[in-house]
């Protein structure tokens, strides 16, 4: 007898990991009257709508509904928009992003490459006739203009439609077949040149997803010119459709040329001033900040990422001046929200000092151990709002630290403190804060609108409702520290398990590498692991060295030893916890995706004495084939350190690297349309295994990228993994 309720894998896929229907993407008006956000209509509706919460009236209303604006037509994405969504791992539809003016009275966004603006007080939306397809529209601070990228050029249009056009484009279709009101500020001067877009490395590795910035006075823009002509071209084919031409991708693999990124100041009056710095020594443009607190502020990095320089820009001449340098013999790191200016012109930055990751204003640290600062969230008149973890790495909180006034003596305090660990984030404008908190104690996230007092007090003004579905299972992670290194771990056992049930086959379920923390105090982060546990496994999730959130030394321990260190910590965590949990060490498997897939393959090939099967999803196998900024940070330049690359790779030109007997079953899964970890990685691993006489299974996913948002694909991937693991471990 069936109830009609979908299985967990189907529910997990259909709800996009229970994110659909949950509020996200907040903007707060400085007058404290409005909260703007995105939310779809239900837990299975992919189309995000633009919403406004009017705090004075205490009501929510929809400002933009994509179904209405597109008259029911399907959304069509340009290649540029598809690339942006892949870099941000965006799997939903509709209004997936927007930008606002300084007063948060006007929002701009795209649908099907068309430009729309919403009057947020009235809740009305209209289309602006411009050349398209439109990418990344952003209103000027005064709300009178909208800048955007179309066909590789940076363009601007007056919100009232008063500007004159330099070209043709049909109102509403974005194809260029009728009169438009926009004009171009910077046109591409070569076939591989774009203005106003983030290059692949910036978007994929640096966390910089934009390529232009308005001046506080709304009279000019600082724009990135990206020339991809030096970058090697790779070709992404679709073998399931041999009639289609392969897509050309400019991919800067380790040791090869990057795109050339420069900046120019573009005036609305047609003026152009080139921004100058030592591009040879500092080729990476990691961050740009432009606010009323000071001149444009740049963060540039050396190619080996052992030095980064903070530069100010003279807006009259384009010359730059160094205001600070960071150096590290291992690597330096760019952080979200930094650098920035305080309103009185002091530099806000995050840096590693004395073994701790600290928040600085000017030369003075505002924080110290045990806080590990992760991001700057907002800079106020007297304080900085930031996120950090402490001695309990799974507990990620929002804090404020004062840099003047009564708090000038130092210290910090937590915002929205709870009696249990949470994973928290926040957006602030003035005294208004939107605080989002997830916890292992409840499903999903709770979102509150708070007012912060100058003395640190808090008042809850409203909550934002979530329409997300609740999962049909409850995750029950047990958080522990494993071994001498106190490796953060989560252990999940089958629902209803008792000691009388005896030892269980073990499934390690890590990411285990840079920028990927899995052991967090959030219920939904452990749902898939709990589902695997309910299939009869004891699931272990371990965040070893190299994962974020603990200390700079913990993160940087993997330098030049990526494979050995990451794998060692998985083995040590497993063995350290075997005496405390019902682990059957004669039946141990591991699964993972991306870095986790790489780690799973390492485990099966190099430690078959410990691991007996592996699911290897989208793995990086030949590390020379991954990108410059990521790979060279951890392993150096492949021409200078070829032995380091060979030691850390799964395969080399000679075949398998470091593999020992006995052979263990592997299932290799890879999306054929993946432009981040290209399918060549999986194919080279498969070829090397075949050459070594090692049987294995493969799942090529046609039309799938590094994400797997397709409902049937995501569901069946989980089911097929369980089937493979049970067969491989002899489970009945």
Res. 457 pLDDT band, cuts 50 70 90: confident
Instruction: Report whether 598 contacts 570 (CB < 8 A).
Output: no
Is 521 exposed, middle or buried (CB count within 10 Å of its CB: 0-12, 13-18, 19+)?
A: buried
The first and second tokens of residue 598, run together, are 């790489």
64, 50 contact by CB (below 8 A) = yes
Alpha-carbon distance 291 to 336, whole Å?
A: 16
What is the model's pLDDT at position 1?
35
Per-residue pLDDT tens over the stretch 85-94: 898 888 889 9
Which pLDDT score, from 0 to 100, does residue 410 have?
A: 62
For residue 483, pLDDT over 80 is answered with yes
Check pLDDT > 60 for residue 178: no
- Report pLDDT for 407: 45
Choose among 78, 77, 79: nearest CA to 247. 79
The mean pLDDT value of the chain amounts to: 94
CATH among 2.20.25.90, 2.40.50.100, 3.40.228.10, 2.140.10.30 for 188-334: 2.140.10.30
pLDDT in tens, 348-402: 999 999 999 999 999 999 999 999 999 999 999 999 999 999 999 999 999 999 9
d(CA 547, CA 566): 9
**pLDDT single digits (tens) 429-451:** 999 999 999 999 999 999 999 99
Annotated domain spans of the chain:
188-334, 337-415, 478-729
Task: Tell me: pLDDT of 180 over 50.
Answer: yes
Q: DSSP assignment, residue 87? A: H
DSSP letter string over 25-74? EEEE-TTS-EEEEEEESSTT--EEEEEEEETTTTEEEEEE-HHHHTTTPP
pLDDT confidence of 167, banded at 50, 70, 90? very low
Mean pLDDT over 122-147 rounds to 96
Q: pLDDT value at position 405?
A: 61
* C-alpha 269, offset from chain centre: 36
Given a cut of 90, whether residue 122 has pLDDT beyond it is yes
pLDDT of 4 > 70? The answer is no
* Mean pLDDT score, 259-271: 97
Whether residue 153 contacts residue 198, with contact meaning beta carbons closer than 8 Å, is answered with: no
Asked if pLDDT for residue 228 goes beyond 50, the answer is yes
Partners of 442 in the β-ladder: 439
What pLDDT score was predicted for residue 217?
Answer: 97
Instruction: State both tokens at 531.
Output: 């589902």
Residues 6+ away with beta carbon under 8 Å from 65: 49
pLDDT at residue 342 in the model: 97
Nearest to 697 by CA among 615, 587, 627: 615
HSE-up of residue 381 (Cα within 13 Å, Cβ side): 9
Question: What SS3 class is residue 504?
Answer: strand
Kindly list the distances between the CA atom of residue 393 and the CA atoms of 28, 122, 196, 417, in Å, as whole numbers in the listed order.
Answer: 29, 44, 37, 16
pLDDT at 168: 41
Q: Is the peptide bond before 339 cis (omega within 30 degrees of 0)?
A: yes
Segment holding 366, helix H or strand E: none
What local confidence, expressed as pLDDT, does residue 366 receive?
A: 96
Query: Average pLDDT in the 299-320 region?
Result: 98
pTM given for the model: 0.94
**What average pLDDT does the segment 115-123 reach?**
96
Residue 458 C-alpha from the chain's centroid: 30
Spatial separation of the C-alpha atoms in residues 617 and 594, rounded to whole Å: 6
Count of all residues that appear for the chain in the document = 732
Contact 718, 531 (CB under 8 A): yes
Which tens digit of pLDDT belongs to each residue from 565-583? 999 999 999 999 999 999 9
pLDDT band at 176 (very low <50, low <70, confident <90, very high): very low
Nearest to 378 by CA among 349, 344, 337: 337
Residue 179 banded pLDDT, cuts 50, 70, 90: low
Instruction: Write down the pLDDT at residue 173.
Output: 47
Reported for 434-439, long-range contacts at CB under 8 A and 24+ positions apart, including other chains, are 434/26, 434/28, 434/35, 434/37, 434/464, 435/398, 438/521, 438/522, 438/523, 438/524, 438/525, 439/521, 439/522, 439/523
Task: Enter the CATH code of domain 478-729.
Answer: 3.40.50.1820
Contact 397, 419 (CB under 8 A): no
Say whether pLDDT at 540 is over 80.
yes
């Amino acid at each position: 007898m069936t109830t009609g309720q979908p299985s967990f894998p189907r529910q997990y896929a259909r709800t996009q990991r229970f994110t659909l229907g949950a509020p996200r993407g907040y903007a707060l008006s400085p007058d404290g009257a409005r909260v703007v956000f995105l939310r779809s209509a239900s837990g299975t509706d992919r189309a995000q709508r633009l919403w406004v919460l009017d705090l004075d009236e205490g009501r929510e209303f929809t400002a933009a509904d994509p179904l209405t604006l597109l008259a029911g037509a399907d959304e069509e994405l340009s290649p540029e928009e598809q690339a942006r969504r892949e870099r941000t791992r965006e799997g939903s539809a509709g209004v997936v992003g927007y930008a606002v003016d300084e007063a948060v009275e006007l929002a701009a966004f795209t649908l099907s490459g068309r430009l729309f603006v919403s009057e947020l007080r009235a809740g009305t939306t209209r289309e602006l006739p411009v050349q398209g397809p439109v990418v990344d529209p952003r209103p000027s601070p005064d709300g009178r203009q909208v800048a955007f990228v179309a066909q590789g050029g940076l363009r601007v249009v007056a919100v009232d439609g008063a500007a004159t056009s330099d070209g043709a484009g049909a109102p509403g279709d974005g194809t260029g077949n009728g009169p438009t009101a926009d004009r171009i500020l910077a046109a591409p001067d070569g076939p591989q040149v774009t203005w106003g877009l983030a290059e692949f490395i910036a978007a994929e590795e640096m966390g910089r997803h934009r390529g232009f910035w308005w001046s506080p006075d709304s009279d000019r823009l600082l724009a990135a010119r990206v020339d991809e002509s030096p970058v090697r071209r790779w070709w992404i084919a679709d073998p399931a459709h041999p009639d289609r031409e392969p897509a050309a991708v400019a991919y800067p693999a380790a040791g090869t040329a990057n795109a050339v990124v420069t900046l120019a100041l573009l005036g609305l009056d047609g003026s152009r001033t080139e921004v100058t710095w030592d591009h040879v020594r500092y080729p990476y443009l990691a961050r740009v900040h432009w606010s009323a607190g000071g001149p444009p502020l740049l963060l540039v990095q050396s190619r080996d990422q052992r030095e980064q320089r903070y530069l100010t820009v003279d807006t009259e001449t384009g010359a730059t001046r160094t205001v600070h340098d960071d150096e590290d013999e291992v690597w330096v790191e760019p952080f979200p929200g930094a650098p920035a200016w305080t309103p009185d012109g002091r530099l806000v930055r995050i840096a590693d000092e004395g073994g701790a990751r600290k928040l600085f204003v000017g030369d003075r640290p505002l924080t110290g151990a045990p806080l590990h600062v992760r991001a700057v969230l907002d800079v106020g008149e007297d304080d900085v709002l930031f996120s950090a973890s402490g001695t309990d790495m799974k507990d990620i909180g929002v804090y404020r630290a004062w840099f003047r006034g009564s708090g000038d003596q130092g210290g910090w305090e937590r915002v929205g403190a709870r009696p249990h660990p949470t994973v928290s984030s926040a957006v602030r404008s003035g005294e208004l804060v939107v605080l989002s908190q997830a916890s292992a104690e409840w499903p999903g996230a709770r979102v509150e609108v708070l007012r912060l007092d100058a003395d640190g007090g808090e008042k809850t003004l409203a909550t934002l409702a979530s329409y997300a579905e609740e999962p049909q299972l409850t995750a029950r992670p047990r958080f522990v520290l494993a071994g001498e290194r106190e490796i953060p771990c989560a252990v999940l056992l089958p629902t209803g398990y008792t000691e009388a049930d005896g030892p269980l086959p073990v499934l390690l379920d890590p990411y285990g590498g840079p920028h990927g923390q899995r052991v967090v105090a959030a219920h939904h982060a452990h749902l898939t692991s709990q589902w695997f546990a309910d299939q009869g496994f004891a699931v272990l999730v371990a965040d070893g060295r190299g994962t974020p959130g603990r200390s700079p030394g913990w993160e940087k321990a993997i330098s030049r030893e990526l494979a050995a260190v990451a794998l060692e910590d998985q083995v040590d965590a497993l063995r350290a916890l075997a005496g405390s949990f019902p682990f059957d060490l004669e039946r141990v498997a591991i699964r993972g995706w991306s870095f986790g897939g790489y780690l799973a393959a390492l485990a099966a090939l190099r430690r078959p004495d410990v691991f007996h099967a592996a699911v290897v999803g989208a793995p990086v196998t030949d590390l020379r084939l991954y990108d410059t900024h990521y790979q060279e940070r951890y392993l150096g330049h492949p021409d200078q350190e070829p032995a380091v690359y060979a030691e850390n790779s799964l395969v080399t030109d000679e075949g398998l690297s470091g593999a020992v007997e006995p052979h263990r079953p592997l299932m290799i899964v890879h999306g054929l349309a993946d432009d981040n970890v290209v399918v060549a990685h999986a194919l080279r691993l498969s070829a090397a295994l075949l050459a070594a006489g090692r049987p294995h299974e493969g799942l090529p996913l046609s039309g799938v990228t590094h994400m797997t948002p397709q409902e049937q694909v995501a569901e069946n991937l989980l089911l097929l993994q369980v089937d493979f693991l049970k067969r491989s471990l002899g489970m009945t």
